[in-house]
Structure formats: structure tokens, C-alpha cells
Chain A
Amino acid sequence: MDARRRNNVTVIGCEDAPTVLLAHGFGCDQNLWRLVVPDLSKRFRIVLFDHVGSGRSDVAAWSPQRYTTLDGYAEDVLEICAELDLRDVVLVGHSVSAMIAVLAANREPERFAKLVLLTPSPCYLDDGDYRGGFTRADIDELLDSLESNYLGWSAAMAPVIAGNPDRPEVAGELEAAFCRTDPAIARVFARTTFLSDNRADLADVTVRTAVLQCSSDAIAPREVGQFVHDRIEGSVLVTLDAIGHCPQLSAPEQTAAAIAEFAGAR
């Protein structure tokens, strides 16, 4: 198994420093970490990857059997760790990857030094007293939305961001790849993401955990962050002064600092 190629693994930063493995969430790819990587790579060895079906992963490796549960994605994370022989990993999971990180850490706790759950939600659907924030009808609506934005998912968006004016072809290539997701796969990933319930897995976490949430997040509200913190014994809860579901974009310095502080602590 060539996990490195399958998941388009990138390794940068300080070679002998502790390893920080960054796992992107639904709707994007490893480029989502672009604004926090410069800060983090000064202190850590950074490992980035694309989930199968996202970014520049090997789409041929995707199968509905493996990827209709988050366990398939967790297995990929463990295979990346094994193949690169990563040890004492600080695993940072954003959005749905927070739960993928929990599943991976519960399966091989010895592999991980720490977990950082960035805007996590163990269950997006409301259930009795639990407020995940969404109903089943909301999720069906999201699936419809993906369907009607077929073009938005498959076509390259116009490259505008300043970045590499000297080498526009490189910039263009990056832009084209940014958040590119196969529409059919995105649909399955959306279903898997938003219909999974991993609340019961939280109690099994033995790896030291930090929960980082945003002060205002429509996808993972603060009470959900609090819930995750309450269920993982000994976890710390950090609320970033940031709006939206992607603090790595809306508040990159603060997010990088919070990850670095927890990852670097003894």
C-alpha cells in the first residue's frame, strides 16, 4: 500500500522536531492549512495529506465500501503514520477530521502524543437533548446543494490570490487543485460526515486532547465544543476569537499559536 501517493502526503518543516499531522475536513483539501503552515513549520515537522477523493489524492483508490464510514478515513490516517513511521504524533483534525482523529487515536493510542480537535462535532444531527444543530432534512438539503453546484466542485475556480506572480503556471496549478473534490465522492463524504454519530467514541480517548472551537461557528456551535470537552477526560477547551468554521483561514495566527502551544507543551 502506497499511502504516501494515495493521500498525496506532503512533509515540510523541521526534520527533527515533533511531528504535527494536519487532517483537513469536508469540503476542502490540505490547502486549507496554507495560512497556518508557515508558523507551525518553524517549530514542528508538518505532515499534510488529502483524504481520498479530495485534492490530489488518488481518486482510483476510493471505494464506497471503505469510505462510507469514518473508520475508512481513520484507517488511512493510521496507514500514513505507519508508512512514514511517524511516532509521538500530534494529530490535528479539523471539522469531520476531528472525529476521524478520535477514531484513529482510539485504535492506536500508542502512536499519538496529543490530539487537537479543531471545530469538532461528534454528531451534527439533533438527538433528544443533544443539540447538534441540524435535522435530517437540513442534511438532505445540503446534498441537493452539492448536486446543483456540480460545476462549482469539479471546475477550477478562477485564480486570483496573489501568491506567485513570477510563476503564474505554478499558481494556476495550485488554484485549480484547491479544494477540488470529485462531486460524486463529495456527496458520499457529505453523507458520511454529517450523518455519523461518534459521541460514544469520545469517552474512549486516552490521548491528551485539546478542543479548539470558534466563538461563532454555524457548523459546530459552542455547546457542541463544550460537549466534546466534557466527554474527553482531561481535555482542555480553547475558544478562539474567530468567526466561521475554518479558523485556520479567518484567524490563522491565533489558530497556529493555539496549536503550537498545546503541541509544544511538555
Chain B
Amino acid sequence: METTFSALLEDSAEDLYENAPCGYLSTLMDGTIAKINATLLGWLGHERAELLGRRRFADLLPVGDRIYHETHFAPMLRMHGEIGGIALELVRADGTRMAVLVSSTVKTSANGTAQLIRTTIFDAGDRRAYEHELLRARQEAEQERDRVQLLASTLQRTLLPPSLPDVPGMDVAAYYHPASADEVGGDFYDLFPLTGDTWAFFLGDVSGKGAEAAVVTSLTRYTLRAAAVQEPGPASVLKRLNTALLKDQHGATPRFCTAIHGLLEPAGDGAKVTLASGGHPPALVIRHNGAAELLDTRGGQLIGALPDARFVEVELRLRPGDTLLLYSDGLTEARTHGRVRYDEEDLRDWADTLDVGSATETVAAVSLLLDSFGDGVDDDTALLALSVRLLGDERP
């Protein structure tokens, strides 16, 4: 038994080379074929004499692969002494092609001079077919993703006002930061005129993301816009919204939101603001002297969750240089670089150090703050700021 075994092994050196289950090829450093095994000749359909000393390895490749070989494969092999797992095609004698995986090493003499290139070639037909499938699937997935992003960004635009109206005596600014290009976010804001000198505004955040959230956002916006015209004050507007959302609960996903809604009326050299909150993070007021405070609207409940939800109304006066900032919790729940959640007090303390005199400057400063969090912002973020222009500042 043992003798048979070793006899088999001893007999095999030449046979192992010639009839190995892979192609063997040795070339001079310029690629001229010097030695080739029977397996590879069989695959190619060439006679040994047609190739030895007459053809280069690159001659066996189709033109596209030849360029790849000359510009990448050959330089890499020269510099590294070896290269492995390169997917190429070989052109057979009859012109048909064969997908292969190629690995090469450079044989050097004792003094380090490069002498020969040894190459092994594996039949990769099945594997390449599979890879082509993967490649095609990846390209399809990329196209699909592009379509989804386009749809999401288009839908997102319809849920936000294209631009804010000019409010006499006021500077107004807004900002929207989508957390993902693939999904419609759930944040919304708006600013629009009511009768007389009064303006209405709101900013909120619906539960969830994507198509489901877009449905709620749309309903919420229309309801708020209509109710703001008909109802006497912000708290009753939010009550109307609460009723509308409760009525619309069907399906498994509950639909609710948080929002701040307010009215703005000119008063003296400033403005009077009445606002109500339903479960939303407190608005921030930055006074003209730089002092920042959070408006206490605690007690206002989530909108669309309870039939008798309560909403708290507060009033404040904005004087020239004062800014009112509404924001969504994308900002106050962002993780800062220390991976700690930013919160409302952090925002107030940060705003306390700001030197800003207008809504535009405030929104610019907060968007820079958001940028500084980098990937720490994992939710959509909406900002809406209103400020009373300083006297003499007549910029439109």
C-alpha cells in the first residue's frame, strides 16, 4: 500500500505540471511565452509551437484586458514581484473567450535579478457569471437608490414652503437638515399671513419617517393652516389638530406629532407673540443684549395621542434685536463629539454666548453648530427663527 502511494507521488512531477487542473505559463520578463502546460494549451486550442517564443502573454488577451494588463497588471507585477486573483479573459484559437483568474510571480536569480514570470490560470467561467449577476444587481440597486432619493427629496420639498414670506419689520429665516437622503423626514415648518397685520407660524415633528410620516405631515400642515384662520388662538388651533389626527388613526401605526404654533402681531416698535406647544421642545428667545432663555411651555401634551389633550399658551414681546428660535429635537438630541446628547439647556447656554442680532444670523450659527456635530445628528432637524429688526435697519 505504502509503496503504491509513493510510486504515485514520484511519477507525478511532469504529469502534475502538464495535466494540472489549472493552466501554467512561464514567460520572459517581456512577456514572451517560454513554457506552457498541456491544460492551458487544451483550453486555448493552440499548438505549443504556435506560442513558444512567438507570442506574449498579453497577446492571449482581448484588447480591453490588454490595456488593463499593460497599465496596471504588468507595472504592479514588476514592482511587487507578484499579483494575484486578477479577473481576465483569454481568447481561444477559435476566437471564443474564456473567463479566468490569473496570478503571477516573478522568479528572481540569487543576485535578485528578475528572470521569469510564472503564471497560474484558473477557469473562472461559473464564478464570473455569478459575479456578473452580482454586478448587475449592484447597478440595479444603485439606480433604485437614486430613484428613491429623488422621490424623497421631491416629496420633502412639497412639505416645506419653497420660501418664507416677507414680514414687515421682521427678519425671518428657516433651515432644514434631512438626516437621510433616502427617506422623507418628519419635521415641518411654515410661516404665513392671516388677516390684518397678524402672521401665523408653526414648527413640528411627526412620529416616524418615510411615506407614513409624509402622510401625517401633509395632514398636519393643512389642518394647521386652515385652523389658524378659523380658531381664536394657538391653543385651540392645536386642539383642532389633535382632533383631526385622532380621527385619522387607522392602521397599526399611531399618528401623532409635537408642534409649536404661534401668532405674531406688530406692537409698538416690536411684536407680540402668542404661542402654544404640544409636547414640543421649548422655543428659545435670544434677547438683543445676548441673554438667551427657554420659553416654558411645559404641560402641553403630545398631539394626536389623547382625546382631551391640554395645550399651554404663553405670550411674549419681542423688542428690536430680539430673536425667537423654534427647532426640532434633531438638534437637541444630537450626539456631540463626546457622544453625549446635546440638550435644551446646552442649547440655551450656547446661545447665551452667541453674538447675533437677526434671525438670519441665528439660523446660520445654529446650522454651523449642527455641522460641527457631524454624524452625531441622526434625526431630521428643522429651524425657524423670527427677529424684530433693529431700528434703522431697513434691509429687506
A-to-B contact residues, CB < 8 Å: 25-28, 31-32, 34, 95, 134-135, 138-149, 151-153, 157-162, 175, 178-179, 194, 216-219, 243-246, 249-250
B-to-A contact residues, CB < 8 Å: 29-31, 58, 62-68, 70-72, 74-76, 78-88, 105, 112, 128, 131-132, 135
Nearest chain A CB to B133 CB, angstrom units: 12
Nearest chain B CB to A134 CB, angstrom units: 6
Q: How many Å lie between the Cα of A10 and that of B63 in the bound state? A: 34
Contact residues in B for A139 (Cβ distance below 8 Å) = 64
Known: A147-B135, A162-B112, A250-B29. A219 touches B80 (CB 8 A): no
Contact residues in A for B78 (Cβ distance below 8 Å) = 246, 249-250
Q: In this complex, what residue of A is CB-closest to B62? A: A141
Contact residues in B for A219 (Cβ distance below 8 Å) = 67, 70-71
Contact residues in A for B81 (Cβ distance below 8 Å) = 160-162
Q: Of A27, A151, A217, which contacts B72 at CB under 8 A?
A: A27
Q: Of A146, A159, A216, which contacts B68 at CB under 8 A?
A: A146
Q: In this complex, what residue of A is CB-closest to B68? A: A145
Nearest chain B CB to A212 CB, angstrom units: 16
Contact residues in A for B83 (Cβ distance below 8 Å) = 157
Nearest chain A CB to B75 CB, angstrom units: 5
Contact residues in A for B76 (Cβ distance below 8 Å) = 157, 178-179
Q: In this complex, what residue of B is CB-closest to A174? A: B79
B31 near A149 with CB under 8 A, answer no
B68 near A149 with CB under 8 A, answer yes
Query: A31, A32, A218 — which one has the most chain B CB atoms within 10 A of its CB?
Result: A218
Q: In this complex, what residue of A is CB-closest to B112? A: A162
Nearest chain B CB to A133 CB, angstrom units: 9
Nearest chain A CB to B36 CB, angstrom units: 19
Q: In this complex, what residue of A is CB-closest to B78? A: A249
A243 near B87 with CB under 8 A, answer no
B85 near A160 with CB under 8 A, answer no
Contact residues in A for B30 (Cβ distance below 8 Å) = 216, 243-244, 250
Contact residues in A for B70 (Cβ distance below 8 Å) = 217-219, 244-246
A244 near B31 with CB under 8 A, answer yes
Q: How many Å lie between the Cα of A153 and that of B62 in the bound state? A: 19
A142 near B67 with CB under 8 A, answer yes
Q: In this complex, what residue of A is CB-closest to B132? A: A148
Q: Of B63, B112, B132, which contacts A141 at CB under 8 A?
A: B63
Q: Of B75, B112, B131, which contacts A246 at CB under 8 A?
A: B75
Nearest chain A CB to B77 CB, angstrom units: 9
Q: How many Å lie between the Cα of A148 and that of B130 in the bound state? A: 11
Nearest chain B CB to A118 CB, angstrom units: 13
Mind listing 9 A-B residue pairs with CB under 8 Å?
A34-B79, A139-B64, A145-B65, A148-B128, A149-B86, A162-B112, A218-B58, A219-B71, A246-B71
Q: In this complex, what residue of A is CB-closest to B58? A: A218
Q: Of B31, B66, B79, B135, which contacts A243 at CB under 8 A?
A: B31
Q: How many Å lie between the Cα of A144 and that of B128 in the bound state? A: 12
A152 near B87 with CB under 8 A, answer yes
Nearest chain A CB to B79 CB, angstrom units: 6
Contact residues in A for B29 (Cβ distance below 8 Å) = 250
Nearest chain A CB to B231 CB, angstrom units: 51
A159-B80, A246-B78 known; 20 new pairs, CB 8 Å cut-off, are A25-B71, A27-B68, A27-B72, A28-B71, A28-B75, A32-B75, A138-B67, A144-B64, A151-B85, A152-B72, A152-B87, A157-B80, A158-B82, A160-B82, A179-B72, A179-B75, A218-B58, A244-B30, A245-B74, A246-B74
